[in-house]
Amino acid sequence: MPVIGIPLRRLRELLGESGGGGVSAEELVERLGHLGCDVEGTTELQRVRCSACGAIYEMTATEEVPPRCEACGAELRGGHERLAPLEVIRMELLAVRPDMFDPGGLARVLRGYLGVETGRPDYPLGEPAAEVTVDAALRDPASYRPQIACAVIEDVDLDEGALKILMKLQENLHWAIGRDRKHASIGVYDFDRVEPQIEYVAEDPEQFRFRPLGAAPSDRSQRLHEILQTHPKGMAYAHLLAAHQRYPLLRDAAGVVLSMPPIINSEETRVRSSTRRLFIDVTGMRRRVVERTLNIVVTSLLENLRGARAATVRVRDADGERLTPDFTPQEAWVDAHHAARILGIELSPAEAADALRRMRHDVTEAEDGRLRVAVPAYRNDILHEIDLIEDIAIAYGYHRIIPTLVPTFTVGEEHPLEATAQSARALLCGLGFLEVMTLVLTSDEAHDELLGWEPDPRRVQIANPISREQTRVRTSLLPGLLATLRHNATRPLPQMIFEVGDVSLLDPQAETGARELRRLACGIVSPRTGFEEIKAVAEAILREFAREAELTPSMRAPLMRGRAAEAPGGRASDPNLFFGEVHPEVLERYGLQNPAVLLEVDLDWLSGEPEGGRADGNAAARVTDRGGGEVP
Amino acid sequence: MEKFSHEQYVILKALASLEDEIGIGDLSAQLGVDQALVAAGAHLLAERGLLEIRELPLQELILRDGGRAAVTEGLPERRVLAALLDAGTPLTMQQLPERSGLTTREVGSSLRHLQHKGWARKAGATLEARVPESPPPTADEQLLSTLAEREGGRAFEGQLREAGVPVAEGLKLLKGRRELLEQRAKRRRLVRLSETGRALLARGIEEAREVGQITPEILAAGEWREVLFKAYDVHLGVRARIPGKGHPMQRVIAQTRRAFLEMGFTEAISPSVESAFWNFDALFQPQDHPAREMQDTFYLSAPPGVALPRDDGLVERVRRTHEDGGETGSIGWQRPWSAQRAAAAVLRTHTTATTVRALAADPHPPRKIFSIGRVFRREAIDFKHLPVFHQVDGIIIDRAATFANLLGTLAAFYRKMGFERFEFRPAFFPYTEPSVEVFIWVPEKKDWFEMGGAGIFRPEVTQPLGCASPVLAWGLGLERLAMLRYDLLDMRALYLTDLEWLKEVPLCR
């Protein structure tokens, strides 16, 4: 999760004296924790401003100024201006609550939680201030990104802090809702620089040109495809447009370009501290996402820029005409009795209603404890009544809920395979072996080559491995044991180790396409170990599990022919049990300078599980069905 | 009559005739028994309270090789003085080694003593004698030559003083000249019979054969009645024995299992190779959720996919729930659901895949299920991340279950794991609501540690599986518990095992 720094002074200003602005930073941190924010603490950030484009960078004490400005690509190390440091509350972004990404949004939530200002905030919308016409070509898969929603904000007064908040909000919403601009991207422009008649069109990237944000006064305009190749933001997001023949473009009636969504705005419409009117657009694939995102941006900006007013924009597309933003609340119902019951707290309908109002919902009490809730238009996370019940729980305070136990009696029952595994562990400990746990992800090189095996065609393989060392799942426990012995090659002898664990084998008959087998393996390294010692271990294991096995000589690597034995298995070519002396060639490859013996045995077989029972890999069968406790 | 070994018997007998205390060395000489044996015997008798040992601190002086040479050839300062007197004129520092037969270094270090003893002084680049003839032996020389006469070149300070050697003065002169003389702090032990010992002797004692080991022969012959068994020094060092032991991580797993079994939970397992359907979709995790991306989840090329459940009704209910909420009262995620994405094969990212399977297999209350297993996340290996780690997941299906019960169950579990303070903070997960994160207070680290997530399964999870009761659910990491318990800073130590560490970690911790 990205971490944000909320400027403490600004948050206090927004909360106001009566709204908790006067409380200590520690108390604010504690209350944010009660609201579900993952707060790291407070810290001081260093700030610099790019001399070329004015973008502000914030850094912790240990971070350095980035070499280049991300917004305009200018040299930043030399070309910046230092600003006063800023005390911030550092917290992880709460991805599901994008309305809490900025000081204004947080203040809105805190004022409600503290009971200073409850119920749904009202954001009056002015008459349409602009019109946007959407080119039907944008629905064509060849051009894409058909949805747009816009708003105008007037009477804004932007200081450096507010500009920074605006940029951060945009960036964080791109991450959380936009999924890195794919589903939604936001543009903010100086509305006084454009005509209020705006077109959202699809343009030919080879023909059309404009001057992207960060262009110097002397820079010529660039073709759209050039921007993707040379501008830092163009290169970063080129993958979102590269497959399309035409690129989305927003321009006014006079031909002034606002932006090429979702990549970059134009230099002409750049927002500066002198900007008094903002034009905001959100573009994307789905109307609901685009409109919700717009609601969040606009209401948060209104919270941050006190005194500003929002006006609607008329959007015309193939579906018809509508005004955006639309702050009509989402209507939902909560049963207050159900809420108290599921939370396990004493709570009257009036108290539940009060809790919801403190979470900034409007509530009307109906009969029988039913509450009619109007959810603010900036909330993106209310899918079901249960989401509002969680809001009630948070307003009530998790720390006030008294932990209790379920009153129903049930009888616990262990899984037979786990019980067998525990017996096997006790047995091997009794024989003096130390238990190890090795990595289940491995590579063909580590798993097979050193042992002299051909990689098993039945191995489970990863499509997107993170390293060359881990590309597949193990099919035996022996490679892990040998790797552990190599790791301990210089440690005192004798070494006696074992592991109980799962291996996976592809099996088209299994429900998930792979069968998981529980195995036991052990090994001894000692100057005087040999076949007799490991055979004695094998016999002890068989005896204690009351199992008999018909042994035949084994010719399996990594063991030495004539000095190894196996109990042939029923399945394919895997023996149920095999053990013996490790071939000196393998010892050499593992850097072991003393003799070693190994054993591997199938635990299902050992415990007498019928073949084709759980071992057929049927996952449903492996999930224990009804356990104890079903006494009628 | 009380039996004693030969040495103890003769010691007691010898002391019986003495009123005064006697030194161990003297006693040894008197008895003709090796001093070490007498000392050991006396020690054992003293432990039984039969005799008293008094210890006197002693300073032993031992002549070293340099001292022996000084006695035969003279101290370097005397040899330098002799050379000066021989020459009858001051000599330069360059001349002295040859004239005195000393090395340059020896000449250099003798200067301090020549000046201190007033035998010679520096005059410019030369050294001149201050005495007309070689003075009589000084205290240090007397001390050294007396020592040279003693056996082994060693003697106690007291003995030398008695012999009239000016010990204090000699030691002062020899201070810092470790090449000549070594001083060792020793103790002289004086023994005499105690009252108890005297009373015992009065009753009579006898001598018996002493043996080191109880043998079958001694037992068979009844000889154990006659012999004396040697007493052991309890501080004796012995060879280490290392028991076979469970791996520390497995001990945490075993304790976790026991905790849930004790609380009436039934254990479930399921395979690591899982369908995206059970790992994500059945849990109402939206198909475009970041956790489902290639960056965070291991997708498999073999098997290339996993068939969706044979129960078409189930798949259809899940699809509708994702798209528009279906029958659940939810509005769903408002976007199309792809069966193909649900059929992808993954390595399970949480053991919630296991508990949700158990829920689907039998959604009827009351049930308590837990599962401990390996889970996989696409993380690069470093000190606090491994692509494979362990979780314990649990669910409680119960008509009367509440969020307060969830907190109570988690608290009971962590109490069983040895923690006393918990904190529950609001959290957000796609498949639970309300959701909570569990923190435990670790007094040794003076900090809160996040242990995992929990919540009540959303209706969008339970209803498509045919469950109408509340389902409390949690998924908790286990490696962090092991790291706290065994004070590990690097998670890799658990899986790239150092066998010496395994031997050292106490089983009971």
Could you report the per-residue pLDDT of A217-231, keeping only the tens digit for each?
A: 788 888 888 888 888
Judge whether residue A520 has pLDDT over 90.
yes
The reply to whether B413 falls in a domain is yes
Is B266 an interface residue toward A (CB < 8 Å)?
yes
- Cα–Cα distance measured from residue B202 to residue B179, given in angstroms and rounded to the nearest whole number: 54
Stretch among A34-38, A150-154, A291-295, A374-378 having the lowest mean pLDDT: A34-38
Do B87 and B27 belong to one domain? no
Judge whether residue A10 has pLDDT over 90.
no
- Cα–Cα distance measured from residue A31 to residue A397, given in angstroms and rounded to the nearest whole number: 10
Mean pLDDT computed over B216-228? 89
pLDDT bracket for residue A23 (50, 70, 90): confident
Do B477 and B347 belong to one domain? yes
From A97, A398, A467, residue closest to B424, measured CB to CB: A398
Amino acid at B37: L
Dump pLDDT digits (tens) for A46-87. Answer: 888 888 777 778 888 778 888 888 767 778 887 888 888 888
CB-based contact A34 B303, cutoff 8 Å: no
The reply to whether A120 falls in a domain is no
Is B398 an interface residue toward A (CB < 8 Å)?
yes
Q: Which of B273, B368, B392 to mutate to test the interface with A (most CBs of A within 10 A)?
A: B273
Do A99 and A168 belong to one domain? no
pLDDT bracket for residue A5 (50, 70, 90): confident
Do B438 and B488 belong to one domain? yes
CB-based contact B265 A412, cutoff 8 Å: yes
| Category of B466 on φ-ψ map: left (φ > 0), alpha (ψ -120 to 50) or beta | left
The reply to whether B75 falls in a domain is yes
What's the confidence (pLDDT) of residue A572?
A: 55
Number of domains in chain A: 4
What's the confidence (pLDDT) of residue A609?
A: 65
Q: Which residue of A has its CA nearest to B376?
A: A441
CB-based contact A627 B367, cutoff 8 Å: yes
Do B165 and B212 belong to one domain? no
Do A501 and A353 belong to one domain? no
Do A150 and A15 belong to one domain? no
Is B392:B351 a contact under the CB 8 Å cutoff? Answer: yes
Do A602 and A520 belong to one domain? yes
Is B336:A285 a contact under the CB 8 Å cutoff? Answer: no
CB-based contact B347 A179, cutoff 8 Å: no
Range of the structural domain that residue A395 is part of: 331-399
CB-based contact A513 B412, cutoff 8 Å: no
Helices (H), A315-458: 336-343, 349-358, 385-396, 416-430, 444
> What is the interface size between A and B, counted as CB pairs within 8 Å?
308
What's the confidence (pLDDT) of residue B352?
A: 95
The reply to whether B73 falls in a domain is yes
Please name the residues in contact with B408: beta carbons below 8 A apart, sequence gap of 6 or more: A403, A404, A405, A406
Q: Which residue of A has its CA nearest to B455?
A: A390
Q: Provide DSSP, B16-85.
A: HT-SS-EEHHHHHHHHT--HHHHHHHHHHHHHTTSEEEEEEEEEEEEE-HHHHHHHHH--HHHHHHHHHH
Dump pLDDT digits (tens) for A312-321. Answer: 999 999 889 9
The reply to whether A626 falls in a domain is no
Chain A residues near residue B263 by CB distance under 8 angstroms? 412
Is A95 an interface residue toward B (CB < 8 Å)?
yes
Show which of residues 377-406 on chain A sit within 8 Å of chain B, judged by CB atoms.
381, 383-387, 389-390, 393-394, 398-399, 401-406
Helices (H), B423-464: 459-462
CB-based contact A36 B503, cutoff 8 Å: no
Structure tokens at A609: 């599980």
More confident residue, A414 or B93: A414
What's the confidence (pLDDT) of residue A453?
A: 92
Give A320 to chain B, closest Cα distance, Å.
Answer: 21
Judge whether residue A144 has pLDDT over 80.
no
Chain B residues near residue A441 by CB distance under 8 angstroms? 376, 387-388
Q: B184 pairs with which residues across the strands?
A: B60
The reply to whether A621 falls in a domain is no
Do A136 and A248 belong to one domain? yes
pLDDT bracket for residue A613 (50, 70, 90): very low
Q: Which residue of B has its CA nearest to A179?
A: B290
Is A491 an interface residue toward B (CB < 8 Å)?
yes
Q: Which of B241, B242, B247, B507 to mutate to test the interface with A (most CBs of A within 10 A)?
A: B247
CB-based contact A390 B426, cutoff 8 Å: yes
Amino acid at B374: R
Domain C-terminal end among A261, A296, A324 = A324
Chain A residues near residue B447 by CB distance under 8 angstroms? none
- Cα–Cα distance measured from residue A229 to residue A251, given in angstroms and rounded to the nearest whole number: 22
Please name the residues in contact with A320: beta carbons below 8 A apart, sequence gap of 6 or more: none
Q: Which residue of B has its CA nearest to A428?
A: B244
CB-based contact B405 A409, cutoff 8 Å: no
Q: What percent of chain A has pLDDT over 70?
A: 94
The reply to whether B12 falls in a domain is yes
CB-based contact B499 A497, cutoff 8 Å: yes
Do A89 and A55 belong to one domain? yes
Show which of residues 166-225 on chain A sit within 8 Å of chain B, judged by CB atoms.
179, 183
Mean pLDDT computed over B239-260? 95
pLDDT bracket for residue A243 (50, 70, 90): confident
What is the DSSP-derived secondary structure letter of residue A321? E
Q: Provide DSSP, B124-182.
A: TTEEEESSSSPPPPPHHHHHHHHHHHSGGGEEEHHHHHHTT--HHHHHHHHTT-TTTEE
Stretch among A286-295, A545-554, B163-172 having the lowest mean pLDDT: B163-172
Q: With H, G, I as helix, E, B as strand and everything else as coil, classify residue B184.
A: strand
Judge whether residue A169 has pLDDT over 70.
yes
The reply to whether B509 falls in a domain is no
The reply to whether B238 falls in a domain is no
pLDDT bracket for residue B364 (50, 70, 90): very high
Give B52 to chain A, closest Cα distance, Å.
Answer: 46
Dump pLDDT digits (tens) for A188-208. Answer: 999 999 999 999 998 888 888
List the beta strands (DSSP E) in A226-361. 247-252, 257-260, 264-265, 278-284, 309-317, 320-324, 330-335
What's the confidence (pLDDT) of residue A301?
A: 95
Do B285 and B306 belong to one domain? yes
pLDDT bracket for residue A612 (50, 70, 90): very low
Name the residue among A267, A312, A315, A253 with its Cα closest to residue A128: A312
Do A378 and A231 belong to one domain? no
The reply to whether A119 falls in a domain is no
Chain centre distance of CA B461: 49
Do B33 and B144 belong to one domain? no
Chain B residues near residue A405 by CB distance under 8 angstroms? 405, 408-409, 412
Q: B228 pairs with which residues across the strands?
A: B210
Q: At what angle are helices B403-416 and B248-262 packed, to 10 degrees? A: 130
- Cα–Cα distance measured from residue A442 to residue A459, given in angstroms and rounded to the nearest whole number: 11
CATH number of the domain where residue B181 is located: 1.10.10.10
From A394, A409, A439, residue closest to B264, measured CB to CB: A409
Exposure string of B168-179, with b = 16+ CB inside 10 Å and e = fewer, is eebbebbeebee
More confident residue, B56 or B282: B282
Please name the residues in contact with A507: beta carbons below 8 A apart, sequence gap of 6 or more: A458, A513, A514, A515, A616, A617
Name the residue among B472, B479, B266 with its Cα closest to residue B371: B266
What's the confidence (pLDDT) of residue A570?
A: 63
- Cα–Cα distance measured from residue B336 to residue B342, given in angstroms and rounded to the nearest whole number: 12
Q: Which residue of A has its CA nearest to B504?
A: A434
Mean pLDDT computed over A82-97? 87
First to last CA, chain B: 51
Chain B residues near residue A36 by CB distance under 8 angstroms? 425-428
Judge whether residue A459 has pLDDT over 50.
yes
Stretch among A84-88, A256-260, A431-435, B424-428 having the lowest mean pLDDT: A84-88
Q: Provide DSSP, A520-557.
A: EEEEEE-TT--HHHHHHHHHHHHHHTT-----EE---T
Give A533 to chain B, closest Cα distance, Å.
Answer: 16
Do A164 and A285 belong to one domain? yes
> Long-range contacts of range A546-554, CB-CB < 8 Å, 24 or more positions apart?
A546/A608, A547/A605, A547/A606, A547/A608, A549/A576, A549/A577, A554/A578, A554/A579, A554/A580
Find the Cα–Cα–Cα–Cα dihedral B499, B504, B505, B508, rounded to 10°. 130
Judge whether residue A617 has pLDDT over 60.
no
Helices (H), B423-498: 459-462, 479-485
The reply to whether B384 falls in a domain is yes
Chain B residues near residue A407 by CB distance under 8 angstroms? 400
The reply to whether A625 falls in a domain is no
Do A390 and A441 belong to one domain? no
Is A612 an interface residue toward B (CB < 8 Å)?
no
Do B445 and B489 belong to one domain? yes
pLDDT bracket for residue A571 (50, 70, 90): low
- Cα–Cα distance measured from residue A45 to residue A87, given in angstroms and rounded to the nearest whole number: 6
User: CA-CA distances (angstroms) from residue A421 to A538, B246, B322, B372?
Assistant: 16, 12, 39, 13
Do A340 and A314 belong to one domain? no
User: CA-CA distances (angstroms) from residue A516 to A482, A512, A622, B274, B361?
Assistant: 21, 10, 10, 11, 19
Is A498:A434 a contact under the CB 8 Å cutoff? Answer: yes
Show which of residues 275-334 on chain B sit within 8 Å of chain A, judged by CB atoms.
275, 288, 290, 294, 298-307, 325, 328-334
The reply to whether A623 falls in a domain is no
Name the residue among A121, A270, A137, A277 with its Cα closest to residue A196: A277
Chain A residues near residue B248 by CB distance under 8 angstroms? none
CB-based contact A412 B433, cutoff 8 Å: no
Per the listing, tokens 């509508």 go with: A322
Chain B residues near residue A380 by CB distance under 8 angstroms? none
Range of the structural domain that residue B140 is part of: 63-186
User: CA-CA distances (angstroms) from residue B264 to A371, A416, B358?
Assistant: 38, 16, 16
What's the confidence (pLDDT) of residue B107?
A: 87
User: CA-CA distances (angstroms) from residue A88 to A7, A35, A158, A498?
Assistant: 4, 18, 20, 52
User: CA-CA distances (angstroms) from residue A450 to A276, A295, A530, A557?
Assistant: 71, 60, 21, 10
Do B139 and B204 belong to one domain? no
Dump pLDDT digits (tens) for B260-313. Answer: 999 999 999 999 999 999 999 999 999 988 888 888 999 999 999 999 999 989
Q: What is the CA radius of gyration of chain B?
A: 44
Do A501 and A423 belong to one domain? yes
pLDDT bracket for residue A621 (50, 70, 90): very low
Do B32 and B99 belong to one domain? no
Measured in degrees and rounded to the nearest 5, phi and psi for residue A254 equal: -85, 0
CB-based contact B404 A384, cutoff 8 Å: no
Do B413 and B271 belong to one domain? yes
CATH number of the domain where residue A592 is located: 3.30.930.10
What's the confidence (pLDDT) of residue B231?
A: 80
Number of domains in chain B: 3
Please name the residues in contact with A434: beta carbons below 8 A apart, sequence gap of 6 or more: A495, A496, A497, A498, B242, B244, B245, B247, B499, B502, B503
Q: Which residue of B has its CA nearest to A616?
A: B271
Chain A residues near residue B272 by CB distance under 8 angstroms? 440, 473, 502, 504, 516
CB-based contact A429 B300, cutoff 8 Å: no
**Cis peptide bond upstream of B76, omega within 30:** no
CB-based contact B268 A398, cutoff 8 Å: no
What's the confidence (pLDDT) of residue A611?
A: 44
Is A619 an interface residue toward B (CB < 8 Å)?
yes
CB-based contact A484 B407, cutoff 8 Å: no
Q: Provide DSSP, A164-205.
A: HHHHHHHHHHHHHTTTTTTSEEEEEEEGGGS-SEEEEEEE-T
The reply to whether A229 falls in a domain is yes
Show which of residues 404-443 on chain A sit within 8 Å of chain B, judged by CB atoms.
404-415, 417-418, 422, 425, 428-441
Chain centre distance of CA A606: 42
Chain centre distance of CA A54: 32
Give A287 to chain B, closest Cα distance, Å.
Answer: 11
Do B257 and B338 belong to one domain? yes
- Cα–Cα distance measured from residue A199 to residue B303, given in angstroms and rounded to the nearest whole number: 49
Is B43:B24 a contact under the CB 8 Å cutoff? Answer: no
CB-based contact A619 B271, cutoff 8 Å: yes
Chain centre distance of CA B169: 50
Is B271 an interface residue toward A (CB < 8 Å)?
yes
The reply to whether B236 falls in a domain is no
Do A466 and A553 belong to one domain? yes
Helices (H), B377-469: 403-416, 459-462
Do B408 and B289 belong to one domain? yes
More confident residue, A9 or A514: A514
